[in-house]
Amino acid sequence: MNKSKIQKLDNFLSSHKKITIIPHKNPDGDALGSCLALMHFLKQKSHDTSIISPNNYPNFLKWLPGEKSIIKFSEEEKLAKTIIKESSLIFVLDFNDLNRIGDLNKIIQNSKSKKIMIDHHENPKKFADLEFSYPKISSTCEIVYNILYNLNPSFINEETATCLYTGIMTDTGSFKYPSTTFKTHEIISKLIKHGANGSKIHEKIYDEFSLNKLNLLSICLNNIRKVEKLPVIYMTLNQKELDKCYFKKGDSEGFVNYGLSVKGIKLSIILIENTDEKIIKMSFRSKGNFPANLFAEKFFNGGGHINAAGGLSRKSLKKTISKLLIALQDFNDEF
């Protein structure tokens, strides 16, 4: 970790006491885990710290230590605006483009506060006063661990460790993606030493499904299609199917990975209809060199990492599938 950046961060922290931390919209385990870990750490340094999430997040994250204090901009806009106004330092975590925070975008752009970005996505946009951008690192939580360790390791307590463990675990697919290195495991071992209970965290994230979620999974798996002549699988969930299973945010998390469990498949895609927002939300997961992020960016207004990306379409589900099949031909050489 770059010492001069840590020094600059330390200076910012010494001169700013009121701090806001922001994850990306639809925050995942890494986004919320990194925000909460940073909050627990800063509280020990007597900072007045708030987390403002652009919107709500899945129930399987609603046990993380400190989670109840998170303010959702979509539900408490006035309070969130006041807090941002009063803060002189803003951390943005697990994203690198202000487009990823929805309606908060303009507010943060117009804020005169100092901004610090901590993130692991490619192609960071220039808007922060200080950037910790490391696209090769598994997760924002892994970067946050390195930063906190360099600032003051004795402030990493059980709560911080639990939040960081969660984010690293979820963003590495439980330590199985290629982004997992010996350093990731070293950090995980230290987090366990600091009090993170890996087995319990795993249970909280992956073993508290609702029956509705399992029913939805069965529909989704039934909808699996293999693309002719390409190592690609896609699956769909339309609004009717979602409604039938009382769909809640997060219920479809992880479904797309099933496509990659088929021998020889290099790309798996899930398309989920959202009639409220009039979009088809898409997730892409790949194995090897297939650049899921470039594919999502070129055809579906998205982005992400080489092996995990997302995007969306404003066409109907049927038309989106047709577009997808044509787009795949364009990337034929990448397989």
Instruction: Select from ligand 5GP, Mn ion, none the partner in contact with residue 124, using the beta carbon and a kind-dependent cut-off of 5 to 8 Å.
Output: none
CA angle 41, 161, 197 (to 5 degrees): 155
Residue 125 C-beta: closest distance to ligand 5GP, Å: 11
- CA-CA distances (angstroms) from residue 193 to 145, 183, 198? 13, 15, 11
Q: Which is nearer to Mn ion, 30 or 273 (CB)?
A: 30
Is residue 308 a contact residue for ligand 5GP (CB under 6 A)?
A: yes
27 binds ligand 5GP (CB under 6 A): no
Segment contacting ligand 5GP by CB under 6 A, of 46-54, 174-182, 204-212, 302-310: 302-310
Cα separations (Å) of 223 from 85, 212, 216, 272?
47, 17, 11, 12
Q: Which of 40, 213, 266, 305 binds ligand 5GP (CB under 6 A)?
A: 305
- Residue 273 makes contact with Mn ion by CB under 5 A: no
**Of the candidate residues 142, 159, 171, 241, the single one contacting Mn ion (CB under 5 A):** 171
Number of residues that bind ligand 5GP (CB under 6 A): 10
Residue 30 binds which entry of ligand 5GP, Mn ion, none, CB below 5-8 Å type-dependent: Mn ion
Classify strands 267-274 and 279-286 as parallel, antiparallel or unpaired.
antiparallel
Minimum distance, C-beta of residue 266 to Mn ion, in the bound complex (Å): 22
3-state secondary structure string across 295-330: HHHHHHCCEECCCEEEEEECCCHHHHHHHHHHHHHH
307 binds, among ligand 5GP, Mn ion, none (CB under 5 to 8 A by kind): none
Q: Does 311 bind ligand 5GP (CB under 6 A)?
A: yes
Q: Which of 12, 30, 89, 116 binds Mn ion (CB under 5 A)?
A: 30
Whether the CA torsion 267, 165, 76, 245 is positive or negative: it is positive
Work out how close the CB of 198 gets to ligand 5GP at its nearest, in angstroms, rounded to a whole number.
22
Q: Which stretch binds ligand 5GP (CB under 6 A): 70-78, 103-111, 146-154, 307-315?
A: 307-315
- Assess 259 for contact with ligand 5GP (CB under 6 A): no
Binding site for ligand 5GP (CB under 6 A): 283, 302-305, 308-312
Binding site for Mn ion (CB under 5 A): 30, 94, 140, 171
